[in-house]
Structure 1
Amino acid sequence: MEISWEQSVRYSINTIYLLFSAYLVFVMQLGFAMLCAGSVRAKNAMNIMLTNVVDAVVGSISYYLFGFAFAFGDSSNPFIGTNFFALKDIPNASYDYSFFLFQWAFAIAVAGITSGSIAERTQFSAYLVFSFFLSGFVYPVVVHWVWSSGGWLSSSSSSNLMFGSGAIDFAGSGVVHLVGAVAGFWGSFIEGPRVGRFDAFGKPMPMRGHNATLVVLGTFLLWFGWFGFNPGSFDKILVAYPSTTDQGNWTAIGRTAVTTTLAGSTAGIVTLFGRRLLVGHWDALDVCNGLIGGFVAITSGCSVVEPWAAIVCGFCAAWVLIGLNILAVKLNFDDPLEATQLHGGCGAWGLIFTGLFAKEEFVIQAYNSGVSGVVRPYGLIMGGGWGLLVCQVIEVLVIVTWVTVTMGPVFYALHQLGILRIPIDEEIAGLDISSHGGYAYNAHQEENQPRFYADYMRMQEQS
């Protein structure tokens, strides 16, 4: 099929924009790696870095072999893609290589969220199993429901929109973050807390990460990558709006970047002051977690809300995070990176927020190319009725249910087989020396290896 010069130029610009966005999202893997490494104790730094690399590597293979087809393989099936088709690098293909790469960058981020929840006490072989299954099957099915044009929850379907709306999860507060968080919750719950995290009376004991510099570096890398995560989800920048004063998707891309920035910044500063009131000192790590919580929350509605609403989103996200962290401690739930609370709580809030504050004009821009005369539900507080909010609540519920009935049994089976949690003596010595041949830092190894190694060998002899 021949295409015109104008079509060729449009396809080229869209492809460049989408690939650049994919590269930005991929940079987030480095951000996750730095954040995770700084948030764990030095004796486990090598392990957490390796798991972040493995999440990307294993996720790449599983998503190529199975995941992309389950997500986008057959738009006529509302529940799962079944057509394992070949990608084609042509403008009129349903999905081309650039779209695959962008979606792949999202897929490998999900397992990284889960890895943070079960850090410092998990066998390396378990990472290989759950990462492959999560990236290759569990996550893609949710993608098909919400992002495929034929998905039963999709807001971009040409017909049969649920409640006339479908769920708006523009860049994945639920599809990406809530999925990874629920999986991480079950892994962490089944494993139990790290040794020493709570004393015999259930009192929490401090286990701070070893390197705040890496945490801050990782946070800024995630912030940078989020400009591909959210604005990049306008996967075609050149889409003409036929009957409005706007000229195409690029009119909304800048606004999406602004709402992302405002939500994250608001959540960061509110978390800083909120934690200052609770613990009595300023903590850079609180700002970092608050920032990320705000980004997670706005990811659902970034393209369909006003900038002032993004500030409301970030403000509430900060208190959701603070409240869930307090609850986690009271319940003796141990998530070293607060991934369940942050990605799960703030992700769920982001979906509800969209159902409350989505603006009709922006919804039509994002999902109907700005066509005039289109009527569809929008935010409840903005006067758009209950339809969108109900769809958002349904998305939260079905994601929690789906990930629970799939990943819960996987983690339980790994636990029963004895390949989920490492032995206590190895956990005390540190995963780096017990599983990876040495520490990540030479100075730490020279200073502490004799003591840790002696403890490790003594426990081995006693067992």
Structure 2
Amino acid sequence: MNACMVLFMQSGFALIEAGAVRAKNVTNILIKNLLDACEYSSYSYANRFIGHKHFFLSYPDYKSPSLDNYPVRVFHGGSFYGEFFFNFVFAATATTIISGALAERVEFGAYLVYGIIASGFIQPVTVHWAWSNGWLVYPPESLKLPPAVWYRDYAGGGNVHAVGGIAALVSCIFIGPRLGRFSAKTGEKVHIPGHSTPLTCLGAFILFIGFLSMVLGHGQSVALGVTNLTLGGAASGLTSMVIVNLEPKVVDWWKYTIMKTNRSRVIKPKTFWSFLVLVDATLAGMVSMCAGCDVLEPWGAVIIGIIVGFAFYYVEHFLIHMKVDDPVGSVAVHLVGGVIGVLLAPVFAKKEHEYSWIHWKGCDYDCVSDSVNSTCLYSTSFAGDASEGKRALHPNWQNGDCLYTPFHQFAWQLVGILAILSWTIVCCIPLFFLLWKLRVLRVDADTEVRGIDIAYHGEPAYPIAAQGHGWDNEGEFSVSNLTDGKTGGGRRDVKALINPHEAESWEGMNPEAGLVALAIAYREKYYKNPYANGICNGMEATIVPTLVLSTEF
């Protein structure tokens, strides 16, 4: 059930992206989001990339005697069908992140190629490393890491969101910005508004529900997880909203007050409470909670959310400065949120977790491994009175060495996220370079200007013929006289809207008769014979044409 809710996130991504792009490219966005799911279903798990024995830096199968002494650290061994479906929805989520980053300019075939490779190979490998029996979950013994140290990523902050975010960054660099996104003369950003803020709002709320479902799908720490997700998202969203409004004022104060500039000639920029910034920053905060929401202190979740709010805002501005066009903020939301969440999860973990950085009190004695003595091996704080000689071996010490510190866990988290990012980059750069070199990565300029929906899909999201109505403001039929579209009124000839391919049927009709009268005359003449055009075979038929009686421009 929770996997179904996570799958529902696909509609959230689709609606957010659809609202953020122009109306001429909405169908293209929708079909790409659906295909992301279909590609995994038909390809990835069929090849058994997840859980495959000895696959890509993995330990042997769990039934192997060599793993008898290894603890069970991640979910495995459940229903094959349940495992397939849960991994399917996460792979679809990781793959669809790039859809918004390449919106309005990517060649449809190129996106299909990326989707197949990403959902079938790139993302499943990282899942195997982090959620199966891979080397991140069971570090190689040669590293001699403490047994308590292994890569922790509860809900895919690294192998889902960071993978999608870094792939989005690489693809944006290769494909370039949309036409008109940056001024050809000054290089300044040119605002390209999306066509529907309400669609973006609906998609955002669907994603909020989907993020909570990611946590509810795990058996441990459900209440703590949803609490931290909510707090982290809220803190990040509010932080970015404050920055958006305060930063221009602070910059102005520094420039025009401290530096004694003539303020009478200064036109200070107007600040706005941006809904789109709030949505993206809140999503970034929730992404940052995915890695450690089951172990974080609630106040730690707030701190991480604030950090992510700052990082999101300034990464967005840095990308614009570098002329990287990301229409929906995929890089700042998923890459920044995912990386920060993975790294800070052990820092703000609750006290009962031994790898918690903020609660670690250190070893009882300040010993170094080259000067071991019996005092270093024991702690009087664990077993009775030292005067009676009742001393117990301190769990953080073994053979004179401090066996475990939170720094080990943080270092392994860093190794894990760098490995995941490196793997994705190594796979994506050759892929997008090849597509770019073959000139199949981006649509031609004419299609980009006119819109992808009609050119590639033949299905505009908002057909012109479906717009308008036949009523005036008082609820009566509109009987305005026709014009030729050139003499004023802004009305097109109804012939252009009703069966334009049968021009001969209009012969002899009076174009000044009014819209309704002309439409009725057209119907009586053209459909008088039910067998006209061979549309009937011995059966009576009544055909009423679709009318668009008034089209204003």
Give the TM-score, by structure 1 length.
0.79
* 1:33-72 equivalences in 2 (<5 Å): 33-66=14-47, 69-72=48-51
Residue 446 of structure 1, CA deviation: 6.5
Residue 433 of structure 1, CA deviation: 2.4
Q: Give a deviation string over 1:233-289, Cα, whole Å, max 9, x none.
A: x2xx3xxxxxxxxxxx3xx21111111111111111222222233460111111110
Residue 407 of structure 1, CA deviation: 1.2
CA contact (8 A) 2:49 2:55 kept: no
* 1:14-413 equivalences in 2 (<5 Å): 20-66=1-47, 69-74=48-53, 79=57, 95-148=79-132, 150-154=133-137, 162-164=145-147, 165-200=149-184, 201-232=186-217, 234=218, 237=219, 249=220, 252-277=221-246, 278=248, 280-361=271-352, 363=353, 376=354, 378-383=355-360, 384-413=405-434
Q: Give a deviation string over 1:14-35, Cα, whole Å, max 9, x none.
A: xxxxxx1111111111111111
Aligned to 1:420: 441
Q: Distance in 1 between matches of 2:192 and 2:465?
A: 17
Higher RCO (Cα < 8 Å, 6 or more apart): 1
Q: Distance in 2 between matches of 1:444 and 1:287?
A: 36
Residue 425 of structure 1, CA deviation: 1.1
- Matched residue SS, 2:8: helix
* Runs of 4 or more consecutive aligned structure 1 residues displaced over 3 Å after TM superposition: 80-83, 92-95, 155-164, 443-447
CA contact (8 A) 2:58 2:135 kept: no
- Matched residue SS, 2:460: coil
Aligned to 1:240: none
Residue 61 of structure 1, CA deviation: 1.5
Q: Distance in 2 between matches of 1:320 and 1:59?
A: 32
Q: Distance in 2 between matches of 1:167 and 1:360?
A: 19
Counterpart of 1:392, as a letter, is Q
Q: 1:442 to 1:328 in 2, by over 3 A?
A: same
Q: Distance in 1 between matches of 2:156 and 2:236?
A: 18
Q: Give a deviation string over 1:143-177, Cα, whole Å, max 9, x none.
A: 111111x2111179999885541121111111100
- Matched residue SS, 2:345: helix
CA contact (8 A) 1:304 1:358 kept: yes
CA contact (8 A) 2:56 2:125 kept: no
Q: Distance in 1 between matches of 2:26 and 2:223?
A: 37
Q: Distance in 2 between matches of 1:419 and 1:445?
A: 33
Gaps of 5+ in 1: 1-19, 84-91, 238-248, 364-375, 451-463
Aligned to 1:460: none
Q: Distance in 2 between matches of 1:98 and 1:355?
A: 29
Q: Give a deviation string over 1:98-142, Cα, whole Å, max 9, x none.
A: 122111110111111011111110011111110010001000111
Q: Distance in 2 between matches of 1:138 and 1:444?
A: 43
Q: Give a deviation string over 1:338-373, Cα, whole Å, max 9, x none.
A: 101210111111111113112352x4xxxxxxxxxx
Q: 1:77 to 1:212 in 2, by over 3 A?
A: same
Aligned to 2:370: none
Aligned length: 387
Q: Distance in 1 between matches of 2:182 and 2:452?
A: 20
Counterpart of 1:379, as a letter, is S
Q: 1:59 to 1:445 in 2, by over 3 A?
A: farther
Q: Distance in 1 between matches of 2:463 and 2:228?
A: 43
CA contact (8 A) 1:264 1:292 kept: yes
CA contact (8 A) 2:346 2:406 kept: no
- Matched residue SS, 2:461: coil
CA contact (8 A) 1:360 1:379 kept: yes
Q: Distance in 2 between matches of 1:26 and 1:159?
A: 40
Residue 324 of structure 1, CA deviation: 0.1
Q: Distance in 1 between matches of 2:456 and 2:408?
A: 52
Q: 1:415 to 1:350 in 2, by over 3 A?
A: same
Q: Give a deviation string over 1:426-445, Cα, whole Å, max 9, x none.
A: 10111112222242113598
Counterpart of 2:50, as a letter, is A
Q: Which moved more, 1:347-356 or 1:173-182?
A: 347-356
Aligned to 1:243: none
